[in-house]
Amino acid sequence: MTPTMLLYTAYDISSIAIRLVMLCYIPQKHAPSAATAWLLAIYFWPWPGFLLYLMFGSASLPEKRVERHEKMLRSLEDGRRSFRCLFDDEAHWLPEELVRFGALGRKLGDMCITRGNEFLLIDSEEEFIRALSADIDRAGSTVHLLYYIFARDSVTEPLFRSLEAAAARGVECRILVDALGAKRFLKRDAKPLRSMGVRVEKALPPRLFRRTPTTARYDLRNHRKIAVIDGRVGYTGSHNVIEAAYGGKAGGLEWKDLTLRLSGPVVLQLQGVFMEDWFVETGEMPRSGEIFPAPELAGEAVVQTVPSGPSYPWQNYQRLVVSALHGAKKWVVITTPYLIPDDELLHALETAVLGGVRVQLVIPEKSDQFLVGNAAKAYFDVLLDAGIEIYLFQGGIIHSKTMTVDHSLAFLGTSNFDIRSFALNFELNLVLYGKDETRAVRNAQHSYITASRRLTRESWGDRPRAVRVVHGITKLFSPLL
């Protein structure tokens, strides 16, 4: 037998072995949909599929990261009410169904409903950078930033100058960025900031095959966007620190984002989430008295912080979204750049429509990601058949992640409505309770719908057969995207 024949034989035998072993192993570790997708990939491409599974197959975190997270919570036990359980005993002034919903949010994310907040909804990158820079210019003690994408460009330059000035006058500036999303910043612009006294650290440094005590699988990402100044002013939403075209990521189209500038007790919850991530990545635990000032009432808004990610036993945001859909009575509007619903979300959407709820879904006409965009479109048939209204946004890439339910409940944050955001990414979302709070988000959603074209069942049915095939194939891998 020639060496070539030996190689072919060894490959065939090993491929069969991989298929058999993975057939026994994968169904025990994953939900049926994800297990089926992985097994399909391994069946057709045994070795490539096996190697991909080694890199991306496990969503579990290394023990060291879990231990650090638990240690952080224990260390703050005496002061946990300063950012976790503010005014929880006063939530009785909400309608009964919202009190129950708030209790679910607290159970999942361990943070309660807070009242006495004030917020400003920001819808442009320039305004976001301008407001954040001005708050940093007024900072007296601490500036904490956590962002997935962080870049120094013509739009964000004022923010960098404000950070440098704050550090120069003795303000403790901490920046935590995702190691993959902010890769270019870490290589090019982090060192000058560090030289000015700004602490810069990276979250979830990726490793392809080798896991260290604190690094997880390659594509587990920290997708949160948080800014907290002096523990008094906070920002969160979908804006990253980068100009609106995201460096030409989507062919020069501008990304449309929403961020909330907040003051009031809820800011301490944002601070708590930041400090948990900071400690997990660095092992550094600043004294809580310096970073968690006594809460102050700033307005009338009722807000709850809901962090989510692999460190929690449940898919926190997915559970809240599904629960809200089941409780909807008249109207639901969702905006998201990426829509890959799992079975529970899909069934909740269908059930809402069957119960007489009008469901409107706004997504970009063009996606910046080929696989994710086509996998999302594979669900259009079932969504349209269910009676869900689909609007394709024409004014760029809609990147705002929002949901409003009737006139009393709104969601805004960093999580897309896809399996990746629900199960794999570290995300942060806010729940806003009340008519005034919901109206602000609903107005922004209405502007998106106005700038969109509604997709009809007839026009969607006219798409070419080749396009249908692409949608169908990418849909098979949607549990892995």
The answer, yes or no, to whether residue 463 has pLDDT greater than 90, is: no
Task: Provide the 3-class DSSP secondary structure of residue 292.
Answer: coil
Per-residue pLDDT at 476: 62
The answer, yes or no, to whether residue 86 has pLDDT greater than 50, is: no
CA distance between the termini of the chain = 43
Per-residue pLDDT at 96: 75
Average pLDDT over residues 209-217: 51
Locate 219 and state its tokens: 């594509």
The answer, yes or no, to whether residue 8 has pLDDT greater than 90, is: no
Residue with tokens 């023990």: 63
**For 133-158, what is each residue's pLDDT tens digit?**
999 999 999 999 999 999 999 999 99
Task: Provide the 3-class DSSP secondary structure of residue 144.
Answer: strand
> How does DSSP classify residue 281?
H
| 283 CA to centre of own chain | 24
Question: 236 with 430: CB under 8 angstroms?
Answer: yes
**For 172-184, what is each residue's pLDDT tens digit?**
999 999 999 999 9
The answer, yes or no, to whether residue 63 has pLDDT greater than 90, is: no
Per-residue pLDDT at 38: 75
Query: What is the pLDDT confidence band of residue 70, given thresholds at 50, 70 and 90?
Result: low
Task: Provide the 3-class DSSP secondary structure of residue 112.
Answer: coil
The answer, yes or no, to whether residue 91 has pLDDT greater than 70, is: no
- Helix or strand run (H / E) with residue 404: strand 401-405
For the ranges 1-10, 193-202, 420-429, 458-467, the lowest mean pLDDT is seen at 1-10
The answer, yes or no, to whether residue 1 has pLDDT greater than 70, is: no
Query: Beta 358-364 vs 331-335: how paired, if at all?
Result: parallel
Beta strands in 104-162 (DSSP E): 113-122, 142-147
Per-residue pLDDT at 410: 97
Locate 25 and state its tokens: 């192993």
**What's the one-letter identity of residue 479?**
P
Higher-confidence residue of 56 and 245: namely 245
**For 163-209, what is each residue's pLDDT tens digit?**
999 999 999 999 999 999 999 999 999 999 999 999 999 998 876 55
Query: What is the pLDDT confidence band of residue 79, given thresholds at 50, 70 and 90?
Result: very low
Average pLDDT of the chain, as a whole number: 85
User: Which positions are annotated as active-site residues?
Assistant: 223, 225, 230, 399, 401, 406
pTM above 0.75, yes or no: yes
**For 364-388, what is each residue's pLDDT tens digit?**
988 777 777 778 888 888 999 999 9
Per-residue pLDDT at 73: 58
What is the spatial distance between Cα 43 and Cα 398, in angstroms, rounded to a whole number? 36
Which residue(s) pair with 259 in the sheet? Answer: 122, 237
Task: Provide the 3-class DSSP secondary structure of residue 71.
Answer: helix
Name the percent of the chain lying above pLDDT 90: 53
- Using a 10 angstrom Cβ sphere, with 0-12 exposed, 13-18 middle and 19 or more buried, the burial of residue 137 is middle
Locate 288 and state its tokens: 């809580």
Average pLDDT over residues 281-302: 83
**Residues in contact with 153: Cβ distance below 8 Å, sequence separation at least 6, in sequence order:** 242, 243, 247
The answer, yes or no, to whether residue 88 has pLDDT greater than 80, is: no
What is the spatial distance between Cα 425 and Cα 264, in angstroms, rounded to a whole number? 27
What is the spatial distance between Cα 428 and Cα 40, in angstroms, rounded to a whole number? 32
Average pLDDT over residues 433-460: 93
What is the spatial distance between Cα 114 and Cα 305, in angstroms, rounded to a whole number? 9
Domains and CATH numbers, the chain: 3-56 (no CATH), 63-99+112-304 (3.30.870.10), 316-480 (3.30.870.10)
Task: Provide the 3-class DSSP secondary structure of residue 312.
Answer: coil
Per-residue pLDDT at 69: 57
Question: 141 with 230: CB under 8 angstroms?
Answer: yes
Buried b (16+ CB within 10 A) or exposed e, 142-176: bbbbbbbbbbbeebbebbbebbbbbbeeebbbbbb
- Helix or strand run (H / E) with residue 394: none
Which residue(s) pair with 401 in the sheet? Answer: 413
The answer, yes or no, to whether residue 80 has pLDDT greater than 50, is: no
Query: Beta 397-398 vs 259-263: how paired, if at all?
Result: unpaired
Average pLDDT over residues 242-257: 87
Average pLDDT over residues 60-72: 57
What is the spatial distance between Cα 393 and Cα 399, in angstroms, rounded to a whole number? 10
The answer, yes or no, to whether residue 247 has pLDDT greater than 60, is: yes
Buried b (16+ CB within 10 A) or exposed e, 80-114: bbbbbbbbeeebeebeeebeebbebbbebbbbbbb
Query: Beta 427-433 vs 301-308: how paired, if at all?
Result: antiparallel
Question: 76 with 271: CB under 8 angstroms?
Answer: no
The answer, yes or no, to whether residue 84 has pLDDT greater than 60, is: no
